Structure 1
């Protein structure tokens, strides 16, 4: 049975600047450093209609298998990115990322996930939540920011 996960984090950057950074593949690799290393990561930015096949390595060395990403939508005006993903143990890993301005400055980054890993869904959901939270921690550390 699928599980829904929502992770939100506030950033000091304005919404447009933050979104412009997170649609770059090199930024994703940097934000995941120490957690997961990717082989086959494209260069440049995420584009609507793009399909990406990757190999994943936990902590940079432990093989986790393959991961597939289909970019369903990218809307820069709404600062919204949607993907359908699967691999490793996940039969389904749907991700909608939004960035919204906060009153007084900064922005809120929201990751909305729907995940399904069959009998392992509970474990996978906890692992995914922890991974996304650590990704935000790493982004803020790299940018020298605290949460807004």
Structure 2
């Protein structure tokens, strides 16, 4: 059973600045911090072919579990990345993220296909909440970088 998450988020910043934040793994850890504590994530920008196993803990309360991430593609020209992930009860989490220019700035489009067996509806609902919860920290990080309009 596969479920889908589709989220569109608009920001008053340039597409290049939003893309720089989107591929920054340190920013990923910071944006997830409220809902998922992540350890073992490499620092810096993700790159095509990168593979790592992080230790994740929901809300920093549940026991840490291994979570594998394989970055399939990072295209700076098209501002798109694709990854496949698994672990912590998830069979597959296939994520495509892309940044587009808008009239007022930039748009981040996240599309994720999730297979967690019988838990898929629960994991999809949780993923929707997680990705929406990244909005405020992403705004703070863009502001800290001085790139919000």
2:86 aligned with 1:86: yes
Which residue of 1 is the match for residue 9 of structure 2?
A: 9
2:55 aligned with 1:60: no
Q: What TM-score does the superposition give when structure 1 sets the normalisation length?
A: 0.92
What is the distance in 1 between the residues matched to 2:114 and 2:95?
9
8 Å CA contact retained: 2:21, 2:142: no
Which residue of 1 is the match for residue 125 of structure 2?
A: 126
What is the distance in 2 between the residues matched to 1:34 and 1:55?
15
Report matched runs for 1:69-108 at 5 Å: 69-103=69-103, 105-108=104-107
Runs of 4+ that moved beyond 4 A: none
Q: What TM-score does the superposition give when structure 2 sets the normalisation length?
A: 0.91
8 Å CA contact retained: 2:91, 2:115: yes
Q: Specify every segment of 5 or more residues in structure 2 that has no aligned partner in the other structure, as ranges.
A: none
Aligned-pair distance for 1:59?
1.8
What is the distance in 1 between the residues matched to 2:20 and 2:96?
16
What is the distance in 2 between the residues matched to 1:3 and 1:33?
24
Deviations along 1:57-111, whole A, 9 cap, x unmatched? 22224224111001000000000010000111110100000000002x3111010
Aligned-pair distance for 1:118?
0.5
CA-based RMSD of the aligned residues comes to 1.8
SS class of match (1:62): coil
